[in-house]
Chains A and B, each alone.
Chain A
């Protein structure tokens, strides 16, 4: 792939690496590693789920093209497993879809346009694996990969940033089209996703000499999905419901160290569906990080996090996390990050009541920049 990208870069008259470049991504970057997430449910849920786990290998490549352009590619190989207290387990392995995104900077640090293509490289699974696929599709109990294979898609977007006094203002919008696809490998259900539009506004500024505050609000809206087939899924429709994500972050430099508070709130309006639509929900997440420069090449960042899930129809869940990120610069161009988090929490099962859970997260990532 890199050879192809190189050829493409040459064909487009790519600036030599290191030449003045106004692109947002002006270096070659490669990133991969292993991401592991496990949720263990003490009492089991109504279907007897004991653990739901996933490991994934992300593959990210970024290539600068010419003076103001870049191309990035990202995909994952993911393996998800659901194990029941009965001893049964079900897994789903395979590639996810691949996103190929082209960015073009219009005026240095002023505006950027983007065209992203979703290549349907993701695995399509038998309908019997829907429970595994569904288990990783939660926003509350998040996983590295939440979706496997869908269909071909195109997203066009633009972002603009400017300064208003001491504030930076960022505005962005995108429109996404996803073609029909067949989600199941063993059934002829055809899913026709609706279009998605997003708008985002954000503000950030330096506070005092050492602080930086960021605020953002993203709004996503969807047109109605429809599906048609025979077997498990018959004709139906689904309106995903508009979503809002508010963000607030504050970082403060303390010597060579950085203290960060980051919070987001995800709010989804009630969905509509021909089947059982998910109710509206809210997820609030906050974490406190302290990046300590332990050595010239080593940074240790302890993290404390909290997440609250509040669906409309019943008590949701809560999760606390404790852990740390370790970043190490192995060489000038190669760095690595190890993330470990553990946390207790609970989800409310409408039938059995509160089910305690433990979350374990391990990420190992390596990045090469050229």
Chain B
């Protein structure tokens, strides 16, 4: 072989390694499951194998199996944050939201870099939503049992107000007015408020949210399901004289009777004053005594910018339908119009995180921890590890090649291409050829 041929060969080798950084790695496909499972049967505690298997299980929606495989990984590699991130997603798949929350919180405690923290916070925000819906489903399933338990009379749930007008631009105020009332009732120390999101999840599950029409009996039923002894319901519309009118009622969950009513009308710009007026009416008729400090607190306006409040209300609407991107944009718009509108700023941050977390897949979040969006092919046959191992073991042979042999990797034990040179040169390789040694010696012996 000429020098140029050797150089060409060497260049080819160098060229191959130079290509290494290109291309995107891959995640194991569900089709790889059987192969990976068989490999794990050979190496039941191999963390890399179990991690790949867990990913394939996750991709196949086999969350319980994924959790089991991840448990093996984390037993051996407790610092494997990529696997832990997968575990969080797996718990979500299993609807074990509290466990998922614990996993994400644990990861956040490690103070990951900004992007990762944002993703995790987003998952936590989504988890809250998932948890609320799961709890709502559970409550509905246990309705018969819950209805026997008298709800706490000091707990108040505020339903979205029903808009009866035609101007769709005002419809977001259904949630906005309810949010204002929740804030105001929440200022009263003797009352406990059901979070807006919790009640919304229940309404979603009861499929009442779309109609928006909730009569006292339905309100009472819902109140019992969320443990609220009193339910605030109401409606609003523009009057022919271009005033905004709000009507509200407090329904006792125990007997579905109206315990208090309040109403008023004002020009649209006076929305906040009107809402405060209705709240004070209701509290008075509910015989809830207010301290001077509570009265002052209730009188505080979150914003005086009606447009900002409309944007905020639109954000709530988008958030309730799970469109966190739109919600974030609306909340940010509200916050920009009125930087002092704290609720809008807080919601903007939460929705933005939820939007990021919601769009992130398990491989992406795991990848952010260094595992790579798809930390690479599994050691299974469909993945590059086997291909790569075979390639290097064939060209740079080593006894270590036998270490990777498993029955499910197609093991082919080829003959050594490294010749027994002195014997080949002497033409004696093999017992049958060894017979020629004598004659060979005679042939080449120096005279």
* Interface residues of A, Cβ cutoff 8 Å to B: 18-22, 24-27, 29, 31, 39, 41, 45-47, 49, 52, 58-60, 62, 72-76, 82, 99, 101, 103, 106-114, 116, 130-131, 133-142, 146-147, 150, 155-163, 168-175, 183, 191, 193-200, 202, 204-206, 209-210, 212-214, 216, 218, 220-223, 225, 227, 230-234, 236, 238, 240, 243, 245, 247-251, 253, 256, 258, 260, 262-264, 266, 271, 273-278, 283, 285, 289, 291, 293, 299, 301, 317, 327, 329, 332-333, 347-349, 351, 355, 365, 367, 369
Whether A240 and B402, one on each chain, are in contact in the complex, defined by CB atoms closer than 8 angstroms, is no
Q: CB within 8 A of B376: which of A49, A109, A262, A283?
A: A109
- Bound Cα distance from A41 to B411, whole angstroms: 29
Closest to A174 in B: B395
Chain A residues within an 8 Å CB radius of B289? none
Q: A137-B424, A137-B430, A193-B421 are in contact. Are A46 and B435 (CB under 8 A)?
A: yes
B434 interface hit (Cβ, 8 Å): yes
Whether B25 pairs with A209 at a CB distance below 8 angstroms is: no
Taking a contact as CB atoms under 8 Å apart, the answer to whether A158 and B13 are in contact is yes
Determine the distance from Cα of A101 to Cα of B398 in the docked complex, in whole angstroms: 7
Instruction: Determine how close the nearest CB of chain A comes to the CB of B431; give it in whole angstroms.
Output: 4
Interface contact A131-B434, CB-CB below 8 Å: yes
The complex places the Cα of A146 from the Cα of B396 at a distance, in Å, of 17
With A109-B376, A232-B441, A275-B426 known to touch, is A20 a contact of B371 (CB < 8 Å)?
yes
Evaluate contact between B422 and A183: CB separation under 8 angstroms: yes
How many angstroms between the C-alpha atoms of A236 and B424 in the bound complex? 13
Chain A binder among B32-40, B115-123, B163-171: B32-40
Are B390's CB and A72's CB within 8 A?
no
Tell me, yes or no, whether B412 is within 8 Å of chain A by CB: yes
CB of A214 within 8 A of CB of B390, answer: yes
B417 on interface, CB distance cutoff 8 Å: yes
Complex Cα gap A100–B294 (Å): 79
| 8 A-B residue pairings within 8 Å (CB atoms) | A19-B77, A60-B399, A82-B434, A134-B420, A138-B429, A147-B420, A173-B13, A234-B444
* Contacts beyond the supplied A110-B20, A209-B34: 15 A-B pairs with Cβ under 8 Å: A18-B78, A24-B389, A31-B399, A72-B399, A137-B429, A156-B13, A157-B13, A170-B391, A198-B395, A218-B414, A240-B421, A245-B394, A274-B444, A299-B42, A365-B402
Q: Which residues of B contact A140 (CB under 8 A)?
A: 430
Q: Is the CB of B431 within 8 A of A223?
A: no
How near does chain B come to A290, taking the closest CB pair, in angstroms? Answer: 9
CB of A159 within 8 A of CB of B429, answer no
Structural contact, B381 and A159, CB atoms closer than 8 A = no
Assess the A137–B423 pair: CB atoms within 8 A. yes
- Asked whether, in the complex, the Cβ of A160 is within 8 Å of the Cβ of B427, the reply is no
Q: Is the CB of B44 within 8 A of A332?
A: yes
Q: Are A109 and B432 in contact, CB atoms less than 8 angstroms apart?
A: no
Q: Which residue of A lies closest to B30 (CB)?
A: A209
Q: Which residue of chain B is the closest to A263 with respect to CB atoms?
A: B412
> Quick one: CB contact mask for B253-297 with A, threshold 8 Å, 1 for yes?
000000000000000000000000000000000000000000000
**Contact residues in A for B415 (Cβ distance below 8 Å):** 139, 142, 245, 264, 266, 283, 285
Are A159 and B395 neighbours in the complex by a CB distance under 8 Å? yes
Stretch of B4-12, B137-145, B151-159, B345-353 at the chain-chain interface: B4-12
- Inter-subunit contact A20/B426 (CB<8 Å): no
B444: chain A residues within 8 A (beta carbon): 232-234, 236, 274-275
Q: Which 5 A-B pairs have the closest CB atoms?
A: A74-B399, A138-B430, A111-B20, A137-B420, A134-B428
**CA A257 to CA B78, docked complex, whole Å:** 32
Interface residues on B, range: 35 or more
Q: How far is the CA of A235 from the CA of B422 in the complex (A)?
A: 13
In contact, B25 and A155 (Cβ under 8 angstroms):
no
Cβ of B398: which chain A residues have Cβ within 8 Å of it?
Answer: 72, 74, 99, 101, 116
Counting CB contacts under 8 A, is B190 at the interface?
no
B385 at the binding interface (Cβ < 8 Å): yes
Cα–Cα distance between A327 and B435 once the two chains are bound (Å): 39
Q: Known: A47-B435, A174-B13. Contact between A130 and B414, CB under 8 A?
A: no
Task: Tell me if B205 is interfacial: C-beta within 8 Å of chain A.
Answer: no
Q: Taking the complex as formed, is B437 at the interface, i.e. its CB lies under 8 A from any CB of chain A?
A: yes
**Contact between B400 and A60 (Cβ–Cβ < 8 Å)?**
yes
Q: Is B445 an interface residue (CB 8 A)?
A: yes
- A101 shortest CB reach to chain B, Å: 4
Contact B434 A135 (CB under 8 A): yes
Q: Is the CB of B416 within 8 A of A260?
A: no
Q: What residue in chain B is nearest A198 (Cβ atoms)?
A: B395
Interface centre among B45, B77, B82 (most CB of A within 10 A): B77
CB of B388 within 8 A of CB of A159, answer yes
Task: With both chains docked as a complex, state the minimum distance between the C-beta of A5 and any C-beta of chain B, in angstroms.
Answer: 13
A31 (CB) vs chain B CBs: closest residue: B403
Q: Evaluate contact between B13 and A245: CB separation under 8 angstroms.
A: no
| B419 touches A (CB below 8 Å) | yes
Rounded to whole angstroms, the CA-CA distance of A111 and B42 in the bound complex is 25
Which of these, B26, B375, B382, contacts A206 with CB under 8 Å? B382
* 1/0 contact string of B344-386 vs chain A (CB within 8 Å): 0000000000000000000000000011100111000111111
Interface pair A52/B431, CB less than 8 Å apart: yes
B410: CB under 8 A from chain A? yes
Contact in complex: A197, B9 (CB < 8 Å): yes
**Residue from B80, B384, B438 within 8 A of A163 (CB atoms):** B384
> Within 8 Å CB of A112, what residues of B?
388, 391-392
Q: Are B435 and A161 in contact (CB under 8 A)?
A: no
Query: Are B16 and A173 in contact (CB-based, < 8 A)?
Result: yes
| Closest-CB distance, B16 to chain A (whole angstroms) | 4
Given A110-B25, A131-B428, A150-B421: A276 and B35 within 8 A (CB)?
no
Any A CB within 8 A of the CB of B47: yes
Report the Cα distance A109→B377, complex, angstroms: 6
Given A139-B416, A158-B16, A260 contacting B429 (CB threshold 8 A):
no
- The answer to whether B435 and A238 have CB atoms under 8 Å apart is no
